Amino acid sequence: MRTDSGRVIDLRSDTVTLPTEEMREAMRTAVLGDDVFGEDPTVNRLEEMAAAKLGKEAALLVPSGTMGNQVALLTHTRRGDEVIVEADAHIFHYESGAPAVVSGVMLRTLPGRDGLLTADQVEAAVRSPDVHTPPTGLVCLENTHNRGGGSVYPLATLQAISALALARGIPVHLDGARIFNAALATGVPATAIAACADSVMFCLSKALSAPVGSLLCGPAAFIARARRFRKMLGGGMRQAGVLAAPGIVALEKMVDRLEVDHANAKRLAEGLAGIPGVLLDPARVQTNIVIFRLAPPRTAALVVRALAADGVRALAIGPAAIRMVTHKDVEAADMDTAVAAVAQHLGADRPA
């Protein structure tokens, strides 16, 4: 069986989104210069727009969210520092061990609820000065939280963590790859979320549908230092305006439509939750990420393979956990197709 239209419904990630025609046209006509000399007007405009969107002094275009996070770690910390991070955070889980290699820091992982930490947890993990222990150099938060199922921090929690970190003289970095999804879900402006962190990374290449690129935002002096580290890591690009141009379209045109993705994720989650053998509370789906578990003895890898043969692509993110992400290139009817495919294959996957 294939989807009726024969079309592949790709729910593996919002990173699979293709640029819009307007983005392609913007790439073609972008005014360019050498960005390592600071002379690409399109990059400069995107960086100014990004900083303004988050209420920060400055911003830096980087090729990926991973580089944005790692440049932030490198800029904030010193070798041997300890960085507080949630145990399922992207920085810990999906960045190839970069904090150890690039910054020479240790990660202190704390288990969150749906990926979210509390101020008490962070407070208890901050080290007191002692010759035996690594100094706490940074707190990293993730909002929305990817492996937490697109969960969103309540603003009060962010403010409490920010206040205690400030009192201890510890900077906060926010992995805000999907910060605009967080803002939409809570009705809290992105600037208010960003105000709880010294630096924020967000991605253009996810639900905002630009082909490439992320922005690291923060104080001007921090970004100036980060610019040097970006160069050190090989992230200094030349006529990068061809990448910044679709990013500008993304910021101008793609933020407001994220509510469609959230509505589709709800529809998907409600459909999935009705399938026997699916463990999912749809009330906890807040943004565009749906993570569900399979009751034993079903395995995620088998179900994902069967779905792919059916034209529905998803990711196995654990032995019994499957992730589906909504985005611009899927629509409401696709959610029903995906639910029907899961229902069918859960039956087919049942061991004899």
Does 109 help bind ligand TLP (rule: CB under 6 A)? no
Q: Report if residue 142 touches ligand TLP, rule: CB under 6 A.
A: yes
Residue 197 binding ligand TLP, by CB under 6 A: no
> Does residue 182 interact with ligand TLP by CB under 6 A?
no
Q: Does 66 bind ligand TLP (CB under 6 A)?
A: yes
Is residue 146 close enough to count as binding ligand TLP by CB under 6 A? yes
Using H for helix, E for strand and C for coil, what is the string for 86-123? ECCCHHHHCCCCHHHHHHCCEEEEECCECCECCHHHHH
Does residue number 151 form part of the binding site for ligand TLP (CB under 6 A)? no
CB of 91 within 8 A of CB of 107? yes
Min separation Cβ 15 and ligand TLP, Å: 5
Regarding 200 and contact with ligand TLP (CB under 6 A), the answer is: no
Sequence-distant (≥ 6) Cβ neighbours of residue 307 within 8 angstroms: 313, 314, 338, 341, 342, 345
Binding segment for ligand TLP (CB under 6 A), chosen from 48-56, 62-70, 77-85, 115-123, is 62-70
Helix (H, G, I), strand (E, B) or coil at 146: coil
Residue 289 Cβ vs ligand TLP, minimum distance, rounded to whole Å: 8
15 binding ligand TLP? (CB under 6 A)? yes
81 in Cβ contact with 138 (< 8 Å): yes
Closest approach, Cβ 69 to ligand TLP, in A, equals 6
Give bridge partners of residue 83 from the DSSP assignment: 107, 138
Nearest to 43 by CA among 236, 273, 245: 245
Query: What are the angstrom distances between the C-alpha of 338 and each of 271, 302, 304, 326, 351?
Result: 9, 16, 11, 11, 22
Tell me whether residue 70 or residue 337 sits nearer to ligand TLP (CB atom): 70
Region binding ligand TLP by CB under 6 A among candidate stretches 25-33, 58-66, 222-230, 274-282: 58-66
Identify which range of 52-60, 64-72, 233-241, 294-302 contacts ligand TLP by CB under 6 A: 64-72
Residue 261 near ligand TLP by CB under 6 A: no
Q: Which residues contact 164 (CB under 8 A, 6 or more apart)?
A: 119, 122, 123, 126
**Of residues 90 and 230, the one with the C-beta less far from ligand TLP:** 90
Residue 292 DSSP symbol = E
Min dist CB 167 to ligand TLP, Å, is 27
> If binding is defined by CB under 6 A, does position 299 make contact with ligand TLP?
no
Give dist(CA 110, CA 116) in Å, integer: 10
177 makes contact with ligand TLP (CB under 6 A) = yes
* Residue showing the smallest CB distance to ligand TLP in the complex: 65
Element (H, E) at 340: helix 332-349
Our CB check for ligand TLP shows the closer of 94 and 299 to be 94
Q: How many angstroms separate the CA atoms of 290 and 19, rounded? A: 23
Side-chain half-sphere CA neighbours of 263 within 13 A: 9
Q: Count the neighbouring beta carbons within 10 Å of the beta carbon of residue 155.
A: 17
Decide: is 157 part of the binding site for ligand TLP (CB under 6 A).
no
Kindly tell me which of 65 and 235 has the beta carbon lying closer to ligand TLP. Answer: 65
Asked if 214 touches ligand TLP (CB under 6 A), the answer is: yes
Residue entry with tokens 């578990």: 293
By the rule CB under 6 A, 121 interacts with ligand TLP: no
Q: How far is the CB of 133 from ligand TLP (least distance, A)?
A: 28
Which is closer to ligand TLP, CB of 54 or CB of 275? 54
CB crowding 69-86: b at 16 or more within 10 Å, else e: bbbbbbbbbeeebbbbbb
Instruction: Catalog residues that contact ligand TLP under the rule CB under 6 A.
Output: 13, 15, 64-66, 69, 90, 94, 142, 146, 175, 177, 203, 205, 214
